[in-house]
Chains A and B, each alone.
Chain A
């Protein structure tokens, strides 16, 4: 596991070195901080996505949840200072409900996670369209932009938020009984059931956490931009899965880690930044991104000595 996690960090450092050689701008401290700031958005969604992947599921509703959070928070805040916390609370609690519904659909109605969450994504986007009638309105409360744009000792507040969340989730997955359950269910749900692990409850919690974290990302992005936009969440639909997989999380469940996802997120963001900076056409940019992600997964598989059997961390 350690080597599996280590591989992604090697990839992060190698890509940083190579991109710095090609475009020296990448090596500036300001750009490193910029990458960390941008990583926070994807990183928080991917942290939640990792929890869903660990239990053998997937959460494709994160895109819709990010958009919902953006639309709900700006609409509730309406530019008024007194509405700030109501906006935050409503976004997070609605997301929690969405996550619970996802979990119930997957566990009680036995709908495939891919279908259930993709359907939920579509419902959320449709609801945002119906609610706004395609004309989103509202604005953030004064001072809320600090979350997405502020710094503490030179480090972006969004990055600090992400790292706190990541550390908390690392602790939850590694040190708590709930964390052990996540891995056990993903590795072999029948064995987990026979061992008396509350499968439904754990899975529902995993989906709820995934949704709440996606909503938090929506709040950060809203703070970063300050206004509503119906297309804001779309970018996270598959990149959140990519960041987790690049970080060593298995799509089959039971294998992976939050710390790996942190590395995977930085890798994916770094790659996007690098392809933004190098002078290549848009098409080449997509090819580069896809090829490097595929290559990195292949590489660390060969570096990793861990067999692809299911195991506890």
Chain B
């Protein structure tokens, strides 16, 4: 419902010129950098009208919280996990904070959730490997009175307590609209997504295609690039060979975007407008090449790594007996060629995601830099 409201609101806007696109973008996203100070407090979070009553979950005394992480091994998940652990350490009422890792395996994650239930946790936070596969396990846990908070990727149905995350379809739409504006009247684009078959990319790309409707922009190809720079670079090198003209690259993640731009550099082709998220590697690449590449522009929407903190806070509110919204849609940070200098972190590794509640010191410690 909320998503529809936002989408309809912005589909009325015409944003063909780059600057106009940035304004439209900004209204959707958090327009100014708020990465200093209270990142989460300053963020814009749209709550659904539906509320979940906290009275039935109220619990006095120590609580046990479980977190079923679908997999670990990329830096986004690392920051996300670090943030939620820090947050948990700030709440003395949490007696146990149990983290289990699904290792990218759908069956293992279902088993993990069942194990958390048998360990008598009061709440389960979860980033699903599959929105449909974990739904029955979360439903069973919810029926047993356990608070279930999926976040980052939606879970099918409504048999969970509360959800928070960005809106991938709307993000994809806004990125598509920005790219359309950055390219101008007509042009040809290629698109790179994440892991094959993942629901985030599917939703984002559906949104992007909607944004391209009625334009003279030709979509040459959509390819999976695994959110890995090397895979994206290889795919892009093939696409460059096949298509002499590529005017823009749509990506839902900036590892793909950085790989694609590196392929263009190797092929000695001009860099073009590209979309993505808040991956530091692309920001550093932009900083390095923007001056020499007049057509190179970036239009990025962040995926906050502190979604886990919101999930934990939501669970704790319920355990205190407070009501919480059923859905919380987090508005991403907008990063463009105009404001990227406020975000780029040259002193930190490429893998850092910028939209984080971690301080500079914490990030340096985490990334040993």
Query: Which residues of A approach B to under 8 Å, CB–CB?
Result: 23, 25-26, 28, 30-31, 34, 37-38, 125, 129, 133-139, 149, 221, 224-232, 235, 272-273, 276-277, 279, 282, 285-286
Contact = CB atoms under 8 A, between A and B. Distances in A.
Contact of B72 (A129, A225, A226): A129
A227 B232 CA distance: 14
Contacts of A137: 349, 351, 367-369
Nearest to B76: A134
A34 B243 CA distance: 14
A45 to B, nearest CB: 13
Contacts of B77: 134
Interface string B50-81: 00000000000000000000001111011101
Contacts of B78: 133-135
B242 A26 contact: yes
Contacts of A232: 228, 230
A135 B75 contact: yes
Contacts of B239: 276-277
Given A129-B72, A135-B366, A282-B222, A23 B242 contact: yes
Contacts of B366: 133, 135
Given A129-B72, A231-B226, 4 more contacts: A30-B241, A34-B237, A227-B349, A276-B238
Interface in B223-277: 223-224, 226, 228-231, 233-235, 237-239, 241-243, 255, 259, 262, 266-267
A277 B234 contact: no
A149 B235 contact: no
Contacts of A25: 241-243
A6 B351 CA distance: 44
A235 B231 contact: yes
B221 interface: yes
B241 A225 contact: no
A183 B73 CA distance: 39
Contacts of A235: 231
B229 A286 contact: no
16 contacts: A135-B78, A135-B351, A135-B367, A136-B351, A137-B369, A149-B266, A227-B281, A227-B349, A230-B73, A230-B74, A231-B226, A232-B230, A272-B234, A277-B239, A282-B193, A285-B224
